[in-house]
Amino acid sequence: MTLEHPAVAVPFETTGEAFAVARERLSPEVWDFLDGGAGDEATLRENRAEFEAWRFRQRVMSGLPSPSTATSFLGMPLSMPVLTAPFGADGLFDPEGQRAVVRADRAEGVVGIVPEAGTYSLEQVAAAAPEAARIAQLHPMGDRRNFRTMLRRIEDAGYRAICLTVDCPTGGWRERNLRNRFDIDPRVVGGNYPGRGSSDLSDVFGQLFDRNEAGVWSWGELSDAMSDTQLPWIAKGILTAEDAVAATSAGASALVVSNHGGRQLDGAPASLAQLPEVRGAVGPETEILLDSGIRRGADVVKAVALGATAVIIGRLAAAALAAGGEAGVRRVLRLLREEQTTVLTLLGRGSITDLGADAVMRAQR
């Protein structure tokens, strides 16, 4: 099932309202698929709690002009330190899915990460915004021949980098989906593999990627597989210093500190809480993205202050897509940028790239 959007103005004015509108528009089971996490959802809650535990150290009378939110990631310019996530099943939220997201990304000057398990193929998404910088996502598992074929397709379609989601050797224990008996139409996740997949959500990834044929890869196997491409690659799903070092040693050009939005291992720490550990392990030169829990522009500023190069928005982008299609995603991106500008002005900072740990402090309990 896909969601049809009426031709009306974007029906929300804040990022929080985007979630409220999306919940009204989506069926209960699709909303739970978007909003839910793994297990008791402790990690899902902790992601927000960690952002709320940090306060800003405001400086006044800076004498500075309006601040800049501009930055870059892997040489790709960004109007602000934000990328959109490779959330799959995008056709559940809007008939245009990731095609609408990448058009919004291009218009607002950010970069999108395009999912492997999406409604549209990598080539179809690329054609929707051919001049935009894009990153393709892959899952490093299963048949090496299939993986090599996908690398060639990514290169031929003009993607700038590859994001490897390393924290999904199996799906998380998502009880909302189990409780809802949630079955997903294979067409909304099989755009890159037409004719394959299953109507059983628990089996979708096993069917799409032949996980059971080759098992879970090691860092050495991943490094060997990525020698088949010259594109830079990003390891998404890093939460410890040990894995940060392993990923960069295997050849990763950048990392994503992520617990998959609390959708994989319940009881894992908040992504933001692990950012300093990962940054300390790889030093200042490695570019680091952060996802999980970002809901507003102030969160972006906190993440950058604590060591992130930029953040990735997943649930927020999906909710915006459900609430207003392409225009909804554009609205959310503008709101994020405008709030970052406001926060930087009140912090007395001239640029988001000037931020350091002195801009924030842990709240006193």
Q: Report which of 253, 40, 267 is spatially closest to residue 162, judged by C-alpha positions.
A: 253
Q: Report which of 138, 134, 148, 144 is spatially closest to residue 168, judged by C-alpha positions.
A: 138
CA distances from 327 to 100, 149, 192, 331, 333 (A): 8, 34, 25, 6, 10
- Determine contact, residues 235/263, Cβ cutoff 8 Å: no
DSSP-assigned states of every residue in 7-39: S-----SSHHHHHHHHHHHS-HHHHHHHH--ST
Annotation says 5 is catalytic: no
What span, in angstroms and rounded, lies between the C-alpha atoms of 262 and 251?
Answer: 26
- Determine contact, residues 306/360, Cβ cutoff 8 Å: yes
Candidates 260, 263, 330, 349; catalytic one: 260
DSSP letter, residue 208: H
What span, in angstroms and rounded, lies between the C-alpha atoms of 269 and 265?
Answer: 9
Q: Report which of 87, 92, 318 is spatially closest to residue 183, judged by C-alpha positions.
A: 92
Active site residues: 260
